[in-house]
Amino acid sequence: MSIATTEVPAFILNAKHRCDSCSSSRAYVATVLSSSPALPNGGELLFCAHCFRKHAEALLPLLSAIVDETAQLVEHVRDDKHL
């Protein structure tokens, strides 16, 4: 008989990753910019949840990949409620 387990997401961002926009907050969203004439090699930017929401409309058309780990915020809130 097997035991049912809940899959725990493997987060890649931690407290060392800071937002590239405000630089004061922890990053929860990692983005990869598509290459363009202005940015031939593309690039990577990290955002806190607040800054990503603020810039999302302009950013989304420029991105080739996005890692959204804002679910960690929900986990932290959930953990706090148990304290």
Of 36 and 73, which CB lies nearer to Zn ion in the complex structure? 73
Of 5 and 22, which CB lies nearer to Zn ion in the complex structure? 22
Q: How many CB atoms lie within 10 A of CB 14?
A: 10
> CA 34 to CA 42: how far, in whole Å?
5
**Residues within window 19-38 making contact with Zn ion, judged by CB under 5 A:** 19, 21-22, 25
Asked if 46 touches Zn ion (CB under 5 A), the answer is no
Asked if 51 touches Zn ion (CB under 5 A), the answer is yes
What does the DSSP 8-state code read for residue 8? P
State the DSSP H helix or E strand holding residue 58, giving kind and residue range, or none if neither.
Answer: helix 49-59
The residues binding Zn ion (CB under 5 A) are 19, 21-22, 25, 48, 51
